[in-house]
Structure 1
Amino acid sequence: MFGSGKRALITGINGFTGHYVAAELSAAGYRVFGLGSLPSCQTDYLQVNLLDAHALNDAIEKVKPDVIVHLAAIAFVGHGDANAFYNVNVIGTRNLLQAVHRSSHPLDAILIASSANVYGNSIGGRLAETTPTDPLNDYAVSKLAMEYMAKLWSDKLPIFITRPFNYTGVGQADNFLLPKLVKHYKENAAMIELGNIDVWRDFTDVRALTKAYVALLQMRPLGETINVCSGKTYSLREAIRFCEKITGHSLEIRVNPAFVRPNEVKRLCGDATKLRAIIGEWQTPPLEETLGWMLENG
């Protein structure tokens, strides 16, 4: 196992993605340490606020990680406090990189999770890493700013950046679209309010995403920015049909104009060519399979 005897640090370990990344890194032989802002009694966990530079320095010195997966972020686009996006996603990330740089322990790699939101939703077709960025909200702007800031450290630290497209799975909060849909079907709800259901999006299963992350840590594409996506799109209408088929339940779909984004691109798809060139053949389960897993669990 390539991580045998080594230490991994996951920031935001108690978030949706963190649990899955921790399991995958453990399976690869790493001893996994977690960083989070809330108290927890789990083993090898440190409660540290990324805005507390001094505590962060102490945590890095204590753990002495060989790899870091930086997931900690304000991730929900509809989060009400714009300042929080910049404080956590930009300043918090800078504090982390500064603490790592100050540490005497050499690192193999740092994965910084950005977001495909940096591309915006005004360009259709298949989006590659060379597609011009066009962030349309504070979340996306903060993630792009984080990318630029991280590049300032690229000559000093072994950094690479991932841009995941939509991904989902058991445990994702139901203020995200597919978990919201799943929740309504599990509860046999009579009705759901949605935005435009005739839009096509690229969805990845969180279990496949974490395998891609760990494979990237093994390959160490330092200095690179890499899309993590399926390269296949499904419409929200198809997702509804899959849920109906799996559960045998149908509900009324009401389109709420407040949920419809103006000038929204009908089809957004990621290009995973670069990812597969780095880690080899990689696939995500079909969306119907992921939705079935979500409907049966959690």
Structure 2
Amino acid sequence: MAKRVFVTGLSGFTGRYLRDALMADGLEVYGIGQSADEGVRHCDLNDVASLTRIISEVRPDYVVHLAAIAYVAHDDPLEFYRVNVLGTEALLKAILAANVTPTKVLLASSANIYGNANQLPITEDVPPAPANHYANSKLAMEMICRNWFGKLPMLIARPFNYTGFGQAENFLVPKIVKHFASGASVIRLGNLDVSRDISDVSYLVEAYRRLLVGDAVSETVNICGGRDYSIAQILGTMKEISGHNIQVEVDPGLVRGAEVVRLYGSPAKLRRLVGDIPAPGLREILTHMYDQYTAQAH
């Protein structure tokens, strides 16, 4: 029988790409999410009884926890903690209550927990310095998960920024790419003097896939490319790809007070655990997204 994977957030941006990657590897994929796609069930992450019932039915060999409030500027701070912290604990309780013994539980945290780190590139032993509610909630999630290391074979992933076609447009890269693809003359952005480690979603899901079936447990690992890109680089590359320029206006309403200026990590530990993963560069990522948005518009 094929191995089964249970994924929270299965119908989200990352979940859809992960599902395709896991199914291509011969795995059966089930989970909870917001869509009515095959294999996707509706369930409040904090509903332990319903989660337990679903997990009991699926009997997964692996669990991947993606469900989260992931947009840093989300306007309800309580939701960060209800979903990202208490929802994660509810999932772990449900796994035990369902009396299943997964080979691995992979939990998605975030590189945002590092904040404005003094060391670059950031390794896993850099002290956390969260600068917003999203990052605080992810760090709190990690602290709770560590209390479960003795009960379940768990691995915590800290993805840095990643993108791809289909990501919500309130995230920076798809917003920029779609503006160029639509022929817009002006784009309104927030903080311009920031840079981020940006990977393609295909790189991320391949890292997740390898970590899931690998031997590492009770570990924390960065998912990153190892270099950062500025907003100016993204805009300049998009100008070259599209053949036209866009006027940039700073919108005070989009400027974050506690902004992380520079965020990029070291993939050394990831490579030790799963080997080298093909990583598309910035131009390749942006070109692929631009071509898909342009095709969608026509």
Shift of residue 108, structure 1, vs aligned partner: 0.7
Per-residue CA distance 1:49-104 (angstroms, 9 max, x = gap): 11111101101100000001100001111111111111111111111101111222
Matches for 1:13-52 after TM superposition, within 5 Å: 13-36=10-33, 38=34, 40=36, 42-52=37-47
Q: Are the counterparts in 2 of residues 123 and 265 from structure 1 also a CA contact under 8 Å? A: no
| Alignment CA distance shift 1:81-1:258 (3 Å) | closer
* Structure-1 separation of matches of 2:64 and 2:106: 5
The reply on whether 1:229 has 2:229 as its aligned counterpart is: no
1:159 to 154, 177, 187: 154
Q: What SS does the corresponding residue of 2:121 show, helix, strand or coil?
A: strand
Partner of 2:270: 275
Q: What SS does the corresponding residue of 1:297 show, helix, strand or coil?
A: helix
* Structure-2 separation of matches of 1:264 and 1:142: 16
Q: What SS does the corresponding residue of 2:113 show, helix, strand or coil?
A: helix
* Structure-1 separation of matches of 2:149 and 2:114: 22
Q: TM-score, normalised to structure 2's length?
A: 0.94
| Alignment CA distance shift 1:120-1:182 (3 Å) | same
Shift of residue 34, structure 1, vs aligned partner: 2.0
Partner of 2:296: none
Shift of residue 201, structure 1, vs aligned partner: 1.4
Partner of 1:139: 134
Percent of residue pairs identical: 44
Partner of 1:241: 236
Partner of 1:176: 171
Partner of 2:79: 84
Shift of residue 199, structure 1, vs aligned partner: 2.7
The number of residues matched between the two structures is: 293
Q: Are the counterparts in 2 of residues 203 and 234 from structure 1 also a CA contact under 8 Å? A: yes
The reply on whether 1:254 has 2:249 as its aligned counterpart is: yes
| Alignment CA distance shift 1:39-1:236 (3 Å) | closer
Shift of residue 48, structure 1, vs aligned partner: 1.1
Unaligned runs of 5+ in 1: none
CA RMSD of aligned residues (A): 1.5
1:9 to 6, 10, 17: 6
Unaligned runs of 5+ in 2: 294-298
* Structure-2 separation of matches of 1:267 and 1:88: 27
Q: Are the counterparts in 2 of residues 122 and 264 from structure 1 also a CA contact under 8 Å? A: no
Q: Are the counterparts in 2 of residues 230 and 283 from structure 1 also a CA contact under 8 Å? A: no
Shift of residue 106, structure 1, vs aligned partner: 1.7
Q: What SS does the corresponding residue of 1:221 show, helix, strand or coil?
A: coil
Partner of 2:213: 218
Q: What SS does the corresponding residue of 2:63 show, helix, strand or coil?
A: strand
Partner of 1:204: 199
